[in-house]
Amino acid sequence: MNFLRYGFIGVIVGVVCLINPITQAADLSGDLMIFHAGSLSVPLKEVSEAFEKEHPGVKILREAAGSRECARKISDLGKRCDVLASADYAVIDSLLIPAHAAWNIKFAGNEMIIAYTEKSKGGAEITADNWPTLLMREDVAFGRSDPNADPCGYRTVLTAKLAEKHYKLAGFADALIKKDTRYMRPKETDLLGLLEAHAIDFLFIYRSVAEQHGLKWLPLPDEVNLKKPELAELYRSVSVEISGTTPGSKVTQVGEPMVYGVTIPKNAPNPDAALAFADFLLNKDKGMAIMVKNGQPGVVPSPTSTFDQIPDPLKKYATKQ
């Protein structure tokens, strides 16, 4: 009788485990390495701390860089990480899938803005109408990140090209991109120190980063800021060439609404913890609530062409494209 009773209980427990495998993660342990975009530094720090409270056996290690640089650490240098969170989901599609990752989930949005401080030259007079002229002044300096290393870098170029169309300023984009190249850095958050030290007056960066760091910032028209899905066709009318997957090669990056992506690489050292973390990050009451609080609206669930390859516990956060 006891055997039957405990055997029955065992069957029930087994069924529960199959239904909700992530909730059986109480025994998760070890290091969890996350490569992520610089613009995710603040929210992912908070998400990691909250996750570690639920899973005290896990120690999260975070390494920030430009999203393309993060991906190349995996594809070109053979570095291993458990989770990759990119400021542009397309980085995962183009540099990691299918060789180094199998799937990609879109999870957050953002927008391009121009950040500055109270001491920035021209800060008191900059507007959504005059910024193209003001940034071209010789006494004004601005910073941007490297298009080949960081999505914010190529999004700055796309923003300039959209501004040229919007304001009807022939030649503006080329002139802007050729100016102040000495202030270009590998990722957008590398430029915050230059702005705070007044080495530069303005900075092309994401709205969420400006808000997180208490900066003054200028909103750009929706026709320029890469924010609105409804303007996808307009955004696609501009493009920029960036480095490809092999040395010396180039690929064309077309403008599109700003969407972040997350994946677990195929060679993740701690795949169980990685799966639990991805579930935590994408949960609207947990990780996504932290993302929204830090200025990045959620886009979960979103369509993906990799839906069939997504682990079953995470399929609820995506839809078939």
Rounded to an integer, the average pLDDT of 149-174 is 97
pLDDT digits (tens, 9 = 90+) for 200-229: 999 999 999 999 999 999 999 999 999 999
pLDDT digits (tens, 9 = 90+) for 239-278: 999 998 888 899 999 999 999 999 999 999 999 999 999 9
Q: How confident is the model at residue 79 (pLDDT cuts 50, 70, 90)?
A: very high
Q: How confident is the model at residue 24 (pLDDT cuts 50, 70, 90)?
A: low
Q: How confident is the model at residue 188 (pLDDT cuts 50, 70, 90)?
A: confident
Rounded to an integer, the average pLDDT of 39-52 is 97
Burial of 222 (0-12, 13-18, 19+ CB in 10 A): middle
Q: How far apart are CA 86 and CA 101, in angstroms?
A: 13
pLDDT at 9 over 60: no
What percent of the chain shows pLDDT beyond 70? 92
Arithmetic mean of pLDDT over the chain: 92
pLDDT at 15 over 80: no
Q: Residue holding tokens 């993302």?
A: 291
Rounded to an integer, the average pLDDT of 54-58 is 97
What six digits make up the tokens of 222?
């929706």
Domains defined for the chain, CATH in brackets = 2-110+259-320 (3.40.190.10), 112-254 (3.40.190.10)
Stated pTM of the model: 0.85
Q: Which run of H or E residues covers position 275?
A: helix 271-282
Q: How confident is the model at residue 21 (pLDDT cuts 50, 70, 90)?
A: low
Angle between helix 41-54 and helix 271-282 axes, rounded to 10 deg: 110
Which residues, in sequence order, are bridge partners of residue 205?
113
Residue 180 gets the label, from left (phi > 0), alpha (psi -120 to 50) or beta, of left
Q: How far apart are CA 76 and CA 73, in angstroms?
A: 6
- The answer to whether 151 and 109 are in contact (CB under 8 A) is no
